[in-house]
Structure 1
Amino acid sequence: MTQVTAKTNKIVLSTAGTWGDVLPFIGLGRALCARGRHVELVANANFAHAARAQGVPFVPLGSARDYQRAVRNPRLWHPRHGLKHLIDLLLPDPLMAFERLMERVELAHTTLVAHPLSFAARLVQEKHAVACISLVLSPCWFRSRYRVPVMVGAQDMSAMARPLKSLMWRLADWLHVDPAVTPGLNKARRALGLRPIRRPFDRWIYSPQLTLGLFPDWFAPAQPDWPTQLRLTGFAPSKSFVPVPEPVEAFLAAGSAPVVFAPGTGVADTDAFFETAQQACRRIGRRGLLLSMQNKQPPPTHDTDQFLHAPFAPLDAILARCAALVHHGGIGTTAQALAAGIPQVVRPLTYDQPDNAACVQRLGIGTRILPKHFTPSTLALALDHLLTDPTTAQRNLALASTIDPTQTLETICALLDDEKSGQQG
């Protein structure tokens, strides 16, 4: 097993995916830079400006044009077949990514900190015994024969017999995961002189050295069969370090706390989403702040006192002044609402979103509404209950008090520190 030693003096952060997969790595990179560490972030060029704006040295891997084309492709967000399209459309070729990482790695003097989708980081670890730590952002990544992550359709299979759960995971690999992942991955492995593998999502994607879960145990308790090298660190909601746009600031100051609506990257028909949002707000007499978040001009509204459409607002800076958040269920957005202590309605589509929504509902801090049930009446009823129920408010405030992003980042930085990491090895 590769060990982190006192000689380690460079940290290369490697991630892939959308904003929710990259922002936590930017936040960690900023914290490491503040500690005087030599840090580089390797990710798609789409995120270069955001990283450099926070002082994190950035190395592009793939073009921003390719990223924008991928996230606008509806196949990427297919509830059942999205993984194949994610591999084909959004992730870099594993061998090309391996070569890019090797340009940044100083053997025996570098630690890789990698997202589970950064296959190249694990290849570098295997091929050259480079120290590597996996950073897992949401609990749905971890398979279990106990608590099964809630998947497409909000199906909770945790009550199944354990042998059936094991069979379910094998079938998932055979039918969906391996056909999407292993052709490109094993092509790279053969080129590097490594043996082909099967079922990489079962254990291989996690570094055997150390795996960090960026969420607390009260959100998703560790299961007996989760990786033994896993340590849960807590949430570290991203900080934007950008000002609140003037129209948003004026809207927040002009009346009661609004409900925020943020559909996420994967919602193709944002006009329908916002129309549902406005009708629900009218039914319960609430103001609404509608964030397009897609560089798309939001539809105009004539109710300027009750509604504001804006292309962007930093959630970490505004949510504490808002009443609730309606969103897609990405783990980063979920954590922002938790940190602000406000209830949330989650409209999950795919990937980790259904499981995050289930965790929110289990904790009694919000509710989920599946897309087919996302109507003005259903949304209005859900919001009205959440905004008038004192128990929901108490639960949200109690959990918000436990979230300390600075402490979480300090914990992670300490684990990456030369002497402390060496002691853990």
Structure 2
Amino acid sequence: MMLLTAGTRGDVEPFVALARYVASRAHEVRLAVPTGADVPDGLDVVRFDLDARRVLPAPGATPWALARHLRDEVRPAMAGMLSAAVRETVAFAPDVVVHHALVLTAPLAADALGVPRVLVELAPVATPSAELPAAGGPTATRELGRWNRATYAVPRAAARVFDAEVARAAAQLPTGSRPARRTPSRATLMAVSPQLVPRPRDWPARVHLTGHWHDDTPADVDPAVAAFVAGGRHLVASFGSMAAGAAGRRGEQRARDRARDRARDRAEHRARGVITAARAHGLRTLLLTGWGGLALPDDLRGPDVLAVPAAPFGSVLPGAALVVHHGGAGTTHAVARAGVPSVVVPVTADQPFWAARLHRRGIAAAPVPLRRLSAATLLPAVADALGRREAAAEVGRLVRQEDGLAAALDVLTAL
């Protein structure tokens, strides 16, 4: 079995969990992940030359900056990843290809090998429904009735941006060219909790809502973090893989320095709002700084604040009073599983979709737009979230009963 994924931590960890689960059931599996992805020992892993930190645009970038970023960073990175996906899959010659929606060349490789392929959606982006807007689209936070189906044209159009890169990657196929038509996927694994996205009535039978995929293997916790979370009521703040910001054009050191300073200022501003709101509600703050989306200002340091780059969610979330986060799919499911209420500050991609789903489910305050993030906006949002603890605990109980990995493997072995 070949598993291929691309993106940030929230895109990689479910595939790692599936790879470990499948391998533990005596199946041969190879996992392809981006450069720098954290993968435990013992798995057969190949890596794409794709650095998600460079590919992510800076929050609030201008249209011109985004266009330059697409040309200078995204296209070259995608070209390399798409080509490597074909090359590694053909070399492994699996019985089945299981791939993330971003790996656009996985269908070509599966067709060339004559094996079935399975699409994985970590949010609804490729399976249209009249009951759900597409995650990542411009209307992901609003229900549009029968017009919901039209929103799925947005992710399809985004994929077509890379048609030239897909065509060049086809040179890695045994035939040396792109086939005239693509064989549809045999199944779609929607690795999403039905507690957050109930199954729409118009999804076809080949779409399997498995529940989210996560690894229950205990993770090591830094002693300082363990002591902090055991020390009293606390809030966890994490913007996960939200990048600090673009570093400017390569070779322009002054532009890079200015961009770095601006990014640091924005990260400190966000953390200031979180810590101030936490203190106003008598909460301590565990600040997970991630890729630079949050940074602790020097004047707010104190025994009630601990800032660390990362910590295992399974260890630090269950005892939290609430979580302030960006709404990535992985973080969203981890928070829901922990039974903890949220304040979501969505930034991009599918994050507004998940922010809206958590609020609609009654386990998060109304989303706070990134541009409005401050102590003034977080104070009432934190109060709102704290009032949703019972609802969050009940959802957590239900999510913990799901076994997404077993459901996924049942579908795969049936092929």
TM-score interval, normalised by the smaller of the two chains = 0.7 to 0.9
- Greater Cα shift, 121-130 or 142-151: 142-151
Encode CA deviations 1:263-289: one digit per residue, 9 max, x unaligned: 222252322211111121222221111
| Matching residue within 52, 60, 64 for 2:40 | 52
Q: Secondary structure at the match of 1:244?
A: coil
Q: Which residue pairs with 1:394 in the alignment? A: 390
Displacement of 1:411 in angstroms is 1.9
Q: Which residue pairs with 1:376 in the alignment? A: 375
State whether residues 55 and 74 of structure 2, in contact with CA within 8 Å, keep that contact through their aligned partners in structure 1. Answer: no
State whether residues 114 and 121 of structure 1, in contact with CA within 8 Å, keep that contact through their aligned partners in structure 2. Answer: yes
State whether residues 93 and 113 of structure 2, in contact with CA within 8 Å, keep that contact through their aligned partners in structure 1. Answer: no
Q: Distance in 2 between matches of 1:78 and 1:290?
A: 28
Q: Which residue pairs with 1:62 in the alignment? A: 49
Encode CA deviations 1:55-75: one digit per residue, 9 max, x unaligned: 222112216xx444334x527
**CA separation of 1:208 and 1:155: change in aligned 2, threshold 3 A:** closer
Q: Does 1:355 align with 2:345?
A: no
Map 1:20-419; keep pairs closer than 5 Å.
Answer: 20-47=10-37, 50-53=38-41, 55-62=42-49, 66-71=51-56, 73-74=57-58, 87-88=74-75, 90-91=77-78, 92-106=80-94, 110-149=95-134, 151=136, 156-159=141-144, 162=146, 170=153, 172=154, 176-177=157-158, 180-189=161-170, 191-195=176-180, 208-239=185-216, 241-254=218-231, 256-268=232-244, 269-294=266-291, 298-300=296-298, 303-367=301-365, 368-387=367-386, 389=387, 392-404=388-400, 407-417=403-413
Q: Distance in 2 between matches of 1:113 and 1:252?
A: 38
TM-score, normalised to structure 2, is: 0.82
State whether residues 193 and 212 of structure 2, in contact with CA within 8 Å, keep that contact through their aligned partners in structure 1. Answer: yes
Encode CA deviations 1:137-178: one digit per residue, 9 max, x unaligned: 122443334422365666645336x4x5566655x479x525
- Greater Cα shift, 93-102 or 322-331: 93-102
Amino acid at match of 1:36: A
- Greater Cα shift, 36-45 or 323-332: 36-45
**CA separation of 1:40 and 1:353: change in aligned 2, threshold 3 A:** same
Displacement of 1:257 in angstroms is 2.0
Q: Distance in 2 between matches of 1:346 and 1:244?
A: 25
Q: Secondary structure at the match of 1:46?
A: coil
Q: Distance in 1 between matches of 2:236 and 2:143?
A: 32
Displacement of 1:26 in angstroms is 0.6
Amino acid at match of 1:375: S
Structure 2's unaligned 5+ residue stretches are 245-265
State whether residues 116 and 135 of structure 1, in contact with CA within 8 Å, keep that contact through their aligned partners in structure 2. Answer: yes
Q: Distance in 2 between matches of 1:79 and 1:334?
A: 28
Q: Which residue pairs with 2:252 in the alignment? A: none
**CA separation of 1:196 and 1:87: change in aligned 2, threshold 3 A:** farther
Displacement of 1:234 in angstroms is 1.1
Q: Secondary structure at the match of 2:200?
A: coil
State whether residues 152 and 350 of structure 1, in contact with CA within 8 Å, keep that contact through their aligned partners in structure 2. Answer: no
Q: Distance in 1 between matches of 2:62 and 2:91?
A: 35
Q: Once the two structures are aligned, what percentage of the paired residues are identical?
A: 24
Amino acid at match of 2:399: I
**CA separation of 1:375 and 1:35: change in aligned 2, threshold 3 A:** same
- Greater Cα shift, 11-20 or 240-249: 240-249
**CA separation of 1:306 and 1:124: change in aligned 2, threshold 3 A:** same
Encode CA deviations 1:65-114: one digit per residue, 9 max, x unaligned: x444334x5279889969957852643342342112211114xxx21111
Q: Distance in 2 between matches of 1:366 and 1:359?
A: 9
Q: Root-mean-square deviation (CA), in Å?
A: 3.1
Amino acid at match of 2:393: L
Q: Which residue pairs with 1:4 in the alignment? A: none
Q: Secondary structure at the match of 1:351?
A: coil
Amino acid at match of 1:359: R
**CA separation of 1:140 and 1:287: change in aligned 2, threshold 3 A:** farther
State whether residues 325 and 343 of structure 1, in contact with CA within 8 Å, keep that contact through their aligned partners in structure 2. Answer: yes
TM-score, normalised to structure 1, is: 0.80
Q: Secondary structure at the match of 2:89?
A: helix
Encode CA deviations 1:231-286: one digit per residue, 9 max, x unaligned: 101123344643111111121222x2211000222252322211111121222221
Q: Secondary structure at the match of 1:38?
A: coil
How many equivalent pairs are there?
384
Displacement of 1:299 in angstroms is 4.4
Q: Secondary structure at the match of 1:88?
A: helix
**CA separation of 1:240 and 1:46: change in aligned 2, threshold 3 A:** farther
**CA separation of 1:196 and 1:12: change in aligned 2, threshold 3 A:** closer
Structure 1's unaligned 5+ residue stretches are 1-10, 198-203
**CA separation of 1:118 and 1:238: change in aligned 2, threshold 3 A:** same
Q: Distance in 1 between matches of 2:219 and 2:134?
A: 34
Q: Which residue pairs with 1:6 in the alignment? A: none
State whether residues 292 and 311 of structure 1, in contact with CA within 8 Å, keep that contact through their aligned partners in structure 2. Answer: yes
Amino acid at match of 1:147: L
Q: Which residue pairs with 1:5 in the alignment? A: none
Amino acid at match of 1:364: G
Amino acid at match of 1:12: M
Amino acid at match of 1:144: S
Q: Distance in 2 between matches of 1:290 and 1:89?
A: 34
